[in-house]
Amino acid sequence: MAVYIARRILSSIPILLLAVTTVFFAFQVIPGDPARLYVGADASQEAVDQARRDLGLDRPVAVQYAVYLGRLVRADLGRSISTRRPVSIELGSRFVNTVKLALSSIAVAAVGGIVLGTVAAVNQGTVWDHAATLLALLGISIPVFWLGLLLMYLLSVQLRVLPSAGNDTWQHYLMPTVSLATFSLAFIARMTRSSLLEVIRQDYVRTARAKGLPEWMVVIRHALRNALLPVTIIVGLRFGYMLGGAVVTEEVFAWPGMGRLLVTAVGQRDIPVIQGVLLVFAGSFVLVNMAVDLLYGFLDPQIRYR
């Protein structure tokens, strides 16, 4: 197991380096002068040239890249152009808020998706199966922003039972969590149904039924337990997508997270903040993906033995 863990960790390093390189060089080719943005549009050319020297933009690109890597090793993401504060401080509380929203959403998606998929599989071909399949199809088809606006209109504007923006109380979590979780819930439900239907047809499940075990015990202890192996991987991957894909949800509900910070930074052309957010998103997804691989190897010994 130790060799498997070491191999997965080492294989993640080139992916992280590729993400860092892509983020750095992408901003070398886009139009705009970071030095001009730093000092302001009304600054003199002498001030712009001085800012370019202070920011190291007068050096060759290769030197800038080496300096950039050196700063990342020290967890230095630079300073925000708009606020002049360190980017790491700008990202700190925002990242925590995004993680809280992603955790609540993936919990709802996992529990709801597994229950819905199990009901559909156990009642295959019945009205329950058709209803669950229809709900999953609707969940995958509805755009996140439209669902968020619909919930806000119904529950905040019309009924006035939930706040429409912010993250101060547990009520603030309800609508953003449902909006962000709906697609993943439907996806997990479809995966659970497909996996459980395949497992139910196995010989050991028929043997469990032949022993006279109650149907719920056959489904929960024998069938669902083995069917959840691929579902576990999907849950982990969906959590990684939620960390980087909560931009629309955070913007709709004015959630003070990484996604909303990214939208604000793009509007202000705050390149250091944009780079920092993208790197955090990429690093989070790589780490979550690595954790999912390790969990899969722990649950299925055949994977790590290979």
pLDDT tens digit at each of 306 positions of the chain: 677 677 777 877 888 888 888 888 877 776 666 776 666 667 777 777 777 777 777 777 788 888 888 888 888 888 887 777 888 888 887 888 999 999 999 999 999 999 999 888 888 888 988 898 898 888 888 888 889 889 998 988 888 888 888 788 888 889 999 999 999 999 999 998 888 888 887 777 777 777 777 777 777 777 777 788 888 888 888 888 888 767 888 888 888 888 888 888 887 777 888 888 888 888 888 888 888 777 776 666 665 555
Helix (H) or strand (E) holding 89: helix 87-122
Q: How far is CA 205 from CA 128, 231, 306, in A?
A: 22, 19, 27
Structure tokens at 52: 């370019």
Predicted local confidence at residue 105, as pLDDT: 92
Give the integer Cα–Cα distance in Å for 82 and 194.
50
Give the integer Cα–Cα distance in Å for 74 and 68.
10
What's the CATH fold of domain 88-305?
MetI-like fold (1.10.3720)
Predicted local confidence at residue 230, as pLDDT: 82
Residues of the chain with CATH 1.10.3720.10: 88-305
Give the integer Cα–Cα distance in Å for 222 and 94.
42
Predicted local confidence at residue 301, as pLDDT: 60
pTM for this model (two decimals): 0.81
Answer for the pair 77, 272: CB distance below 8 angstroms, yes or no: yes
Predicted local confidence at residue 262, as pLDDT: 87
Residues whose CB is less than 8 angstroms from the CB of residue 189 and which lie 6 or more positions away in sequence, other chains included = 112, 113, 114, 116, 117, 120, 132, 135, 136, 139
Structure tokens at 270: 């705050």
